[in-house]
């Protein structure tokens, strides 16, 4: 069992969301589904929690009610090794009502914020040539979905 498990609070969509996420990420699965009992506060038999894994990382999705909603203060970051991977996660997570955002951020159809980040961005931002690093950062700040080729083009433009 991992030491820290993120818990995502949904109104009623925990099972639907967990199925959506596990269909996107490799090596992912639903681990367990538990249900409200007679003690409530929701009707007995309604999904309470869904334990699931995304590429080996454990998560808990809770149907806690409408009291809380997601916002950008917390996001899930996906480190991508290629443009194809960036494109795939971006497309899959925004489908069905997700919203693209700036600088590699997006919200999925449930309101969960994600950062779809190519590892090339980290390499460019850590470049010892500060001018190259700053040009890459400036280019990234103008992007929605990150374009790796455009990052390198901007970095090398100096």
The last residue of one of the domains, among 45, 68, 91, is 68
**Is residue 109 predicted with pLDDT exceeding 80?**
yes
CATH number at residue 134: 3.10.180.10
Same domain for 54 and 82, yes or no, is no
Same domain for 81 and 135, yes or no, is yes
Same domain for 63 and 89, yes or no, is no
pLDDT band at 158 (very low <50, low <70, confident <90, very high): confident
pLDDT band at 123 (very low <50, low <70, confident <90, very high): very high
What pLDDT does residue 5 have? Answer: 97
> In angstroms, rounded to a whole number, what is the distance separating the alpha carbons of residues 28 and 56?
6
What pLDDT does residue 67 have? Answer: 95
- What size, in residues, is the chain? 158
The last residue of one of the domains, among 22, 38, 68, is 68
Span 121-141, mean pLDDT?
97
**Is residue 27 predicted with pLDDT exceeding 90?**
yes
Same domain for 76 and 121, yes or no, is yes
Query: Which residues lie below 8 Å from residue 11, measured CB to CB, with a gap of 6+?
Result: 63, 64, 65, 66
What Cα–Cα distance (Å) separates residue 28 from each residue in 23, 58, 84, 152? Answer: 8, 9, 20, 32
Query: pTM (2 decimals)?
Result: 0.94
Span 4-22, mean pLDDT?
98
What pLDDT does residue 40 have? Answer: 83
Long-range contacts of 134-140 (CB under 8 A, 24+ apart): 140/103, 140/104
The last residue of one of the domains, among 68, 88, 123, is 68
Give me the domain span that covers residue 3: 1-68
Report the domain count for the chain.
2
pLDDT, tens only, 33-75: 999 999 989 999 999 999 999 999 999 999 999 999 999 999 9
């Amino acid at each position: 069992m991992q030491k820290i498990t993120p818990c995502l609070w949904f109104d009623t969509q925990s099972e639907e969301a967990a199925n959506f996420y596990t269909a996107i990420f490799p090596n992912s699965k639903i681990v367990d589904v538990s249900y409200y009992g007679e003690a409530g506060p929701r009707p007995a038999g309604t999904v309470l929690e869904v334990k699931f894994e995304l590429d080996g990382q454990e998560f808990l999705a809770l149907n806690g009610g409408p009291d809380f909603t997601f916002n950008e203060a917390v996001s899930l970051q996906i480190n991508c090794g290629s443009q194809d991977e960036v494109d795939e996660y971006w497309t899959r997570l925004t489908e069905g009502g997700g919203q693209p955002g700036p600088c590699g951020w997006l919200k999925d159809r449930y309101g969960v914020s994600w950062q779809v980040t190519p590892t090339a961005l980290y390499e460019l931002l850590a470049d010892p040539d500060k001018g190259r690093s700053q040009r890459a950062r400036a280019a990234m700040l103008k992007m929605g979905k990150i374009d790796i080729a455009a990052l390198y083009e901007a970095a090398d433009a100096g």
